[in-house]
Amino acid sequence: MAVSLPILRANMRRVLALGLPLAGSHLAQFMLAVTDTIMLGWYGVVDLAAGVIGAALFFAVFPFGTGFANAVMPMVATAAASDNDAEVRRATRMGLWLSIGFGIAALPLFWFSGALLTALSQPEDVVPLGEAYMRLLGFSLVPALIVMVLKNYLAALGRPQVPFWVTVAAVFLNIALNWVFIFGNLGAPELGVQGAAIATILVSVATAVVLGVFCAALPALRRYTLFQRFWRPDWSAMGQVWRVGWPIGVALVAESGLFSATAIMVGWIGTHELAAHGIAVEITAMLFMVHLGLSNAGTVLVGRARGQRDQAALRAGAATAMAVSIAFALATMIVYFTAGPFLVGLFLSPAEPARGQIIAIGASFLILAALFQLADGAQVMAMGLLRGVQDTRVPMYIAAFSYWGAGLPTSYLLGIHLGYGGEGVWAGLVVGLSVAAALLMWRFWRGPGRVEATPWTA
């Protein structure tokens, strides 16, 4: 499809105006975990390993709840483009209801996590700390999911800047609280990894409150009366959010579950390998937030085009978002190839006895991460574009097959069965993400992205 230069420039401005603040917000949100990892790494390797495995299991559960938040984004974008204020309110409210309900239902999984860690053959010195960490971390789930819904609501309405600045402030608050509770400063007890969990709870609650007040008080958003009679159920809207959201949640669990499973397999290899794996995953996930923000921008643009029934705008917005994501992936590859040891070293104390060994292992993981940058960006972009037209069921099946049918067996075969260690486990990530990228891109451009498609009637 030929696109004129003015249209291309307009699309680029839209993608960047939405994508950069969203990427910044995701990056700042992820920096909460990164600061935990860095500060736990400076506290001690065992506490770091407990935080890594605990966070891996947390993010095997958390993504399903975010499926409802991710359903809110395209539904609100489409409704707002159609000037349907009631539908904006209904979708967001029921997204909050479903997110809160999931967060409460998931608490027992965190409370009884010790038995799970033992069953997964994690190092004996890591299990008690991992259980204590997860028992506290579970109470951050509900406010964290509320934050996700409100951020997506604001993004769909073209207001991603406030979530960005609120999340940036949350990072500094998290650093301060970690300093107090991990290391026992200002008269607080020295709690190590449990202190990191307490900081996460406090930061999540504070962020949810600030965003909620903003959504209720901003004059331009009062028309949606988001919290008026919030306690009243809307079963029809809840059903719609559920139908769009649960496949998104399953797809996200399939992807995050692959990374969690690789953490478990690396834990079978050794504590130093697990610590290096956690650091490398933190680095790759941190830069992945830019792809996620661009994907969210694609979701909003495609959702708006769907609401306006403009197929040309749908294709142009999708193509522009993809081009920006590819450019960033290429730049990221260069960083991983040239600065891997330096990046890993930032997460470790200079006095750590195993520092050299962990840096060497982590840098080798980042070389493999460079190999899947294009695939990782492409798969999350395709997911975002498909969500924009509320096509979530088949992408769920594609994700499950790619990550668990292709990626996970490859990780186990190469890393554990054939003895290639952590590098073999990471090779499975390359395979899983590449398969997902190819299949999801094929579905979008052969379906709603083709010239004659009419996704609003699908």
- Amino acid 353: pLDDT: 75
Q: What gap in Å lies between CA 34 and CA 196, rounded to an integer?
A: 11
- Amino acid 361: pLDDT: 87
- Amino acid 457: pLDDT: 47
Q: pLDDT-based confidence at 74, cuts 50/70/90?
A: very high
Long-range contacts of 307-313 (CB under 8 A, 24+ apart): 307/77, 307/78, 307/79, 307/80, 307/81, 307/82, 307/456, 308/81, 308/82, 309/454, 309/456, 311/451, 311/453, 311/454, 311/455, 312/1
Q: What domain range is 219 assigned to?
A: 5-457
pLDDT tens for residues 270-283? 878 888 888 888 78
CA-CA-CA-CA torsion sign (305, 311, 312, 316)? positive
Q: Which two tokens stand for residue 356?
A: 């050299």
Q: Among all chains, which residue has been given the structure tokens 């800047």?
A: 161
More reliable by pLDDT, 454 or 438: 438
- The overall average pLDDT reported for the chain is 87
pLDDT tens for residues 210-240? 999 999 988 888 888 888 888 888 899 999 9
Range among 47-56, 212-221, 224-233, 367-376 rated most confident: 212-221
Q: What gap in Å lies between CA 72 and CA 364, rounded to an integer?
A: 39
What average pLDDT does range 24-47 have in this prediction?
83
pLDDT over threshold 90, residue 93: yes
- Amino acid 458: pLDDT: 43
Q: Which two tokens stand for residue 386?
A: 């498909």
- Please give the C-alpha separations between residue 79 and each of 84, 273, 307, 396, 430, in angstroms, as whole numbers: 5, 48, 7, 24, 37
Q: How many domains does the chain have?
A: 1
- Amino acid 420: pLDDT: 84
What average pLDDT does range 117-136 have in this prediction?
81
Q: What gap in Å lies between CA 444 and CA 390, rounded to an integer?
A: 12
